[in-house]
Structure 1
Amino acid sequence: MAFMGVELFDIGATTEEELRSVHRVVLAAQAVDRPDEVPVTFEALVGGLRSPPAGFGPRRYWVARRDSEIVAVAFVNLPDAENSHLALVTITVHPRLRRMGIGTAFLRDLLPRLEGRTVVEGWEITSGGAGEHWATSVGFRVVNTMVLQLLPVADVDRSTWDVPVPAGYRVQDWVGAAPGALLESFAHARNTLRDAPFGDIDFQAPLWNRDRVREAEADLRARGVEQRMVVAVHEESGDVVGVTEVEVRPHRPFWASQRETSVLGAHRGHGLGRCIKAHMARRLLADRPDIERFYTTTSADNAHMIRVNEAIGYRTVRTQVSVKQDVTVLTAHPRVLG
């Protein structure tokens, strides 16, 4: 079979058979690289392709073929604003065709198509696995380590969610849109995430303000994503001082994606992080008893947040790395040059 190069893959215009070919590649790779995960269904994969996670800019899809068979796929996010120099790239090669130069050829063809981005990052690569070995062999360097943690609802002791609200604070929650009275301090509190440890990755969390919060909320509604927030409010000032966020996405309606959690520095040490995460679990399950699991990623350097998660039932199932490199360095690497 001859390698035919890469081509842009239009999710909206392709056939079901082509989508099933992509699913076969992703499913086979998952079985080898992430055997502890629940296998992704065809419906979940297609839903995720059509409605990718928000906050990372538009996503492009590329496929590589040998003869007419799709043997590798790439997901490319092109963030904006603080991250407009960056391309987030995931290349997946069918396991039976690895070590044949397909991934490297794919990268070679993809680099000139990144719309002027100067830095490439790859995330959620299984530590010590084939993806990490390949990435470092073509010039990427490891810049961060994360842990994937799961909370299986059926197995958790829900008494761990009975966490009292510390004196001087109250907990408030909402679905979809932040109350106007809290909007300013809520945006300010979300910016605390910019100080969290994320190694040496280039990607910067958004610099939130009122308008940006509303734009993000509208984008999630348009995608059919249910966004839930739980905040800790300082009673004396009336300000939001702690935030935790969960998303439930339409293509995986029984899974809850636990996203950012942050507490302002002046209010740490009171157990607010654990309090708002426990409240989130209780409230979500009260409204959505069909939720089967929560999942989250946390920097391996953030020992405190890992302990907070463990205290309410999360368990670590995998260590993952992020890699990055300048486009010019990758382009000039001997293996990529061929």
Structure 2
Amino acid sequence: MHIERVDPLDLDLDTADALAEVFTASERADGPDLPVRTGPDLLTALQLGSDSRPVTALWVARDGDRVVAQATADLPWRDNTDRADVHVRVHPDVRGRGVGGDLWRTALSFVDGAGRSRLHSGAWVGSPGVAVLERWGLTRTSRGVIRRLDVHATPRSTWDRLYVEALGHAGDYELLRQVGRTPADRVEAMVELHASMNDAPRSDADDEPDRWDAQRLGDYEGAMAGRRQTLYRVMARHRGTGEWAGQSMLAFNEFSPSSAFQEDTTVVRAHRGHRLGLLMKATMLAWITEERPELATVDTWNDATNHHMIAINERLGSTVVATRQGFRADR
């Protein structure tokens, strides 16, 4: 086995294809039925992340010429600068040979050198990774749950009915749609809508709020565009005051056009209690399935404590496909 650190910006498509195969084989072995990861998808994710910056550090393990494992360490830089997120994936063919532990120790040495005191990772519930992370000295934090909506198996009448129900409580609001980047005259409002997500349930009480500004919004939207993740937004605005009240975002994966991922859905605190979350999400599903008929599934991630949003997703037809156990260690 040979481990080398690779600059994500120097990553070639052949290596990215091999890493995607490791990623997919690892998840298949661990239980989650998640969309197959492609090389271009993984390559752009490693190079652009969610803020137009590459993942901080990437290590690749090879058995001869074959790529068999990877590790990443990501160091937040805008906020939460005491935190590091480390993830290791090993192809099931070579598990039990120590390569995962070698990658983990390599990443930890990097994290310690960067002076980060909070280490975070995770593993799929029901997989060997849970016991491995506990053996490596991490403690369990909260859980994140992925639910999937099969848009072909869910009757369109479900979303129409829920839309009418929600509209009965939200007559003072209008809905607007947006595809792609935010126009200049809407940037300030969009920054506020993103910032309103900060009071959603969090997996770590020590996490600082995300500080949103125009630069961060531009970096996020630029990263998603570069990753070929087309952003669809449904936004709510109060008719009387013109105040922006909420948004729901969906990322359509152009590399795998049968799948999409639900990004943030948030309602500004002053406008809660009008079923805007349900209204926006029902509107989104009716829109996206008409706009992109090739779409088959929409996956969404919720903190297990976010009972309000979970209830909305389940009413829309989503069911659990995977649960991620979070872990933390203080260095």
What TM-score comes out, normalization by structure 2 length? 0.86
Q: State the AA in 1 paired with 2:31.
A: R
Looking at structure 2, the residues matched to 27 and 222 of structure 1 have their Cα atoms a distance apart, in angstroms, of: 22
- Contact kept, 8 Å, 1:198 with 1:299, in 2: the verdict is yes
**Cα deviation, residue 81, structure 1:** 0.5
After superposition, residues 31-50 of structure 1 pair within 5 angstroms as: 31-38=28-35, 40=36, 44-50=38-44
State the secondary structure of the residue aligned to 2:254.
coil
Looking at structure 1, the residues matched to 292 and 17 of structure 2 have their Cα atoms a distance apart, in angstroms, of: 31
Judging changes above 3 Å, is the alpha-carbon distance between structure 1 residues 25 and 201 closer, same or farther for their aligned structure 2 residues?
farther
Match of 1:232? 236
Unaligned runs of 5+ in 1: 329-338
Matched, 1:146 2:144: yes
Looking at structure 1, the residues matched to 176 and 32 of structure 2 have their Cα atoms a distance apart, in angstroms, of: 38
Q: State the AA in 2 paired with 1:192.
A: S
* CA deviation vs aligned residue, 1:65-116 (integer Å, no higher than 9, x gap): 4555433211333332003333222101222333343322221122222461
Match of 1:58? 54
Matched, 1:200 2:204: yes
Q: State the AA in 1 paired with 2:78.
A: A
Judging changes above 3 Å, is the alpha-carbon distance between structure 1 residues 95 and 211 closer, same or farther for their aligned structure 2 residues?
closer
Looking at structure 2, the residues matched to 151 and 275 of structure 1 have their Cα atoms a distance apart, in angstroms, of: 17
After superposition, residues 93-112 of structure 1 pair within 5 angstroms as: 93-112=90-109
**Cα deviation, residue 253, structure 1:** 2.5
Q: Which moved more, 1:27-36 or 1:225-234?
A: 27-36
- Contact kept, 8 Å, 1:143 with 1:201, in 2: the verdict is no
Match of 2:68? 71
Matched, 1:310 2:279: no
- Contact kept, 8 Å, 2:261 with 2:298, in 1: the verdict is yes
State the secondary structure of the residue aligned to 1:214.
helix
* 2:82 corresponds to which of 75, 82, 85: 85
Looking at structure 1, the residues matched to 44 and 215 of structure 2 have their Cα atoms a distance apart, in angstroms, of: 26
Q: State the AA in 2 paired with 1:141.
A: T
Count of paired positions: 320
Looking at structure 2, the residues matched to 203 and 249 of structure 1 have their Cα atoms a distance apart, in angstroms, of: 29
* 1:274 corresponds to which of 270, 275, 278: 278
Judging changes above 3 Å, is the alpha-carbon distance between structure 1 residues 24 and 199 closer, same or farther for their aligned structure 2 residues?
closer
Match of 2:19? 22
* CA deviation vs aligned residue, 1:196-242 (integer Å, no higher than 9, x gap): 11232655553223343234323333443311211111112111111
- Contact kept, 8 Å, 1:147 with 1:298, in 2: the verdict is yes
**Cα deviation, residue 135, structure 1:** 0.8
Match of 1:335? none
Looking at structure 2, the residues matched to 210 and 17 of structure 1 have their Cα atoms a distance apart, in angstroms, of: 36
**Cα deviation, residue 55, structure 1:** 3.8
Judging changes above 3 Å, is the alpha-carbon distance between structure 1 residues 62 and 250 closer, same or farther for their aligned structure 2 residues?
farther
Looking at structure 1, the residues matched to 276 and 220 of structure 2 have their Cα atoms a distance apart, in angstroms, of: 25
- Contact kept, 8 Å, 1:11 with 1:50, in 2: the verdict is no
Looking at structure 1, the residues matched to 323 and 234 of structure 2 have their Cα atoms a distance apart, in angstroms, of: 27
Match of 2:266? 262
Match of 1:176? 180
State the secondary structure of the residue aligned to 2:79.
helix
Looking at structure 2, the residues matched to 204 and 245 of structure 1 have their Cα atoms a distance apart, in angstroms, of: 23
Identity of aligned residues (%): 28
Q: State the AA in 2 paired with 1:47.
A: D
- Contact kept, 8 Å, 2:30 with 2:126, in 1: the verdict is no
Looking at structure 2, the residues matched to 96 and 151 of structure 1 have their Cα atoms a distance apart, in angstroms, of: 31
Match of 2:291? 287
Judging changes above 3 Å, is the alpha-carbon distance between structure 1 residues 182 and 70 closer, same or farther for their aligned structure 2 residues?
closer
- Contact kept, 8 Å, 1:84 with 1:117, in 2: the verdict is no
